Structure 1
Amino acid sequence: MFGLPKSTEVSKLLAKSKLYTKFNMSNSVKSIFDENIAKIIISHEISSRTLSIVEGEKVRGIYVLHIFLKRKEFKNQVLVHLINLIKKKIIIALQYQDEVKFAVYCTRLIQSEWLSEQNAQIPLVGLNLGRIWENIVMDIACITSQDGIPLDERIKMEDERIKIEKEISRLSKKARKENQPNKKYTLVQQIRILKKELQAYEE
């Protein structure tokens, strides 16, 4: 499953009731979990115990939680709360019917697009678990590696790039509708400045 080696398979049911008891969840949090989640399975463990791979400096193991959803539109706070409770390197594989999307937390919650179950793959690329984790996060976030730039900084840069793109799009629409020459000129100048900023992120 997910293109991972058979040696990493765990397939252990994680009962919601045990989570509620272990982490002393409030009734409101329990309600959110019950509304969104049908069941949780610890599907894989990626570690030096299950693969011939060395540990990373900060990453000793990566776990895949296969979460079956009751509905496709779910609350992100469910994922954030779960990751914060478990406090390990976790890849969440969300499944609704025959579609899957992946989620990880690295400075913020990062999610992939919905994929068909057959195309939902987790690539294991790297010489140690630290590099494997970074490459998985970048794959889910659809960002590329840059030498010398830490992963969390790379994610922040990508967030800023997306923010600039959205602002360029907003101002471009506004400029097209603007009839007053002076205001139109000001908008065009703002767009040019933003495009220069965007170019810096893409180099």
Structure 2
Amino acid sequence: MIGLPKSTEFNKRIPKQKFYENMEISSVIKQIFVEQIKMIYWRNKIAVSTTNLATGHDVTEIEVFEIRLNHSELDERVLRQIDREIPYHILFLLEYERKYQAWIGYKEIAVTGNKRIKLGGYYHTDWENGDKLSLRMEGLSLDAVYENFVRQIAGDKLKKETSDESLKESVAKDEKKKQLEKQINALTVKIHKEKQLNKQVELSNQLKILKKKLEVTS
């Protein structure tokens, strides 16, 4: 479907119960697994042993999971739960009525320390027919392939400003942009609700500052 080498194919069905029966998760997340997910397949394993790629400094394997859904939406908390439990980088393919979305989260795995996994935001494609969803496995190392997957899926959201801009820097800029947009939306609502003119002016000045910051970030 996404044109990965045959040597990476694994194609093993994983009972969805395995993702919540032996994990300490809330009843809410368990219910989401039960209601929203139909089946889970481990489709590919991208590693040194299955490709001619060099091992990465940060990425040692990339797993490809296909999640077949009962509805056209999946609560992002499910992906976060799976990502937290599996110490590898994961590319998710969501399937519903023969259409697919690719999802991937920015994931850092620490070598030392108590908190081994740090998850950032998730990026995804639009729904596409299986034959139209295409991801290129580009790069000479697992680090490079993972970065290119993230950038392909995110599109313009993670567009580089300089050739040496790292994925971590691009993600940090995008997160900052999202925070500013959230603050701008909240402040705009607050201004519309405010009855006192002097407070409206004060809030409007704050809004101008935030919008200028957003212009610099974008």
Hey, what does 2:63 align to over in structure 1? 63
- Among candidates 173, 197, 200, match of residue 213 of structure 2: 197
Q: 1:51 offset after TM fit, Å?
A: 2.2
- Among candidates 139, 162, 165, match of residue 126 of structure 1: 139
Name the SS of the counterpart of 1:132 in structure 2. helix
- What do residues 120-174 of structure 1 show as CA deviations (whole Å, max 9, x unaligned)? 2222222211011112123333312355554334323212213323544565677
CA contact (8 A) 2:19 2:82 kept: no
- Among candidates 132, 139, 159, match of residue 144 of structure 1: 159
> Aligned in 2, Cα 1:11/1:197: closer, same or farther, shift over 3 Å?
same
Unmatched segments (≥5 aa) in structure 2: 107-118
> Aligned in 2, Cα 1:196/1:19: closer, same or farther, shift over 3 Å?
closer
Residue identity matched to 2:45: E
CA contact (8 A) 1:101 1:111 kept: no
- What do residues 24-46 of structure 1 show as CA deviations (whole Å, max 9, x unaligned)? 56693544322121111111122
Q: Structure 1 CA distance, aligned partners of 2:31 and 2:83?
A: 17
> Aligned in 2, Cα 1:13/1:196: closer, same or farther, shift over 3 Å?
same
Name the SS of the counterpart of 1:108 in structure 2. strand
> Aligned in 2, Cα 1:19/1:174: closer, same or farther, shift over 3 Å?
closer
The 5 A counterparts of 1:139-178 are 139-141=152-154, 142-145=157-160, 146-147=162-163, 149-168=165-184
Q: 1:17 offset after TM fit, Å?
A: 4.1
> Aligned in 2, Cα 1:104/1:192: closer, same or farther, shift over 3 Å?
same
Q: 1:99 offset after TM fit, Å?
A: 2.4
> Aligned in 2, Cα 1:3/1:115: closer, same or farther, shift over 3 Å?
farther
- Among candidates 98, 108, 130, match of residue 120 of structure 2: 108
CA contact (8 A) 1:103 1:109 kept: no
Looking at secondary structure, tell me which structure has more helix per residue: 1
CA contact (8 A) 2:104 2:124 kept: no
CA contact (8 A) 2:9 2:45 kept: yes
Give the TM-score of the pair, scaled to structure 1.
0.79
Q: 1:175 offset after TM fit, Å?
A: 6.9
> Aligned in 2, Cα 1:185/1:24: closer, same or farther, shift over 3 Å?
closer
Hey, what does 1:40 align to over in structure 2? 40
Q: Structure 1 CA distance, aligned partners of 2:47 and 2:71?
A: 32
Unmatched segments (≥5 aa) in structure 1: none
> Aligned in 2, Cα 1:24/1:188: closer, same or farther, shift over 3 Å?
closer
Name the SS of the counterpart of 2:71 in structure 1. coil
Hey, what does 1:11 align to over in structure 2? 11
Q: Percent identity?
A: 30
Moved more, 187-196 or 9-18: 187-196
Q: 1:181 offset after TM fit, Å?
A: 7.3
> Aligned in 2, Cα 1:15/1:177: closer, same or farther, shift over 3 Å?
closer
Q: Structure 1 CA distance, aligned partners of 2:176 and 2:18?
A: 39
Name the SS of the counterpart of 1:134 in structure 2. helix
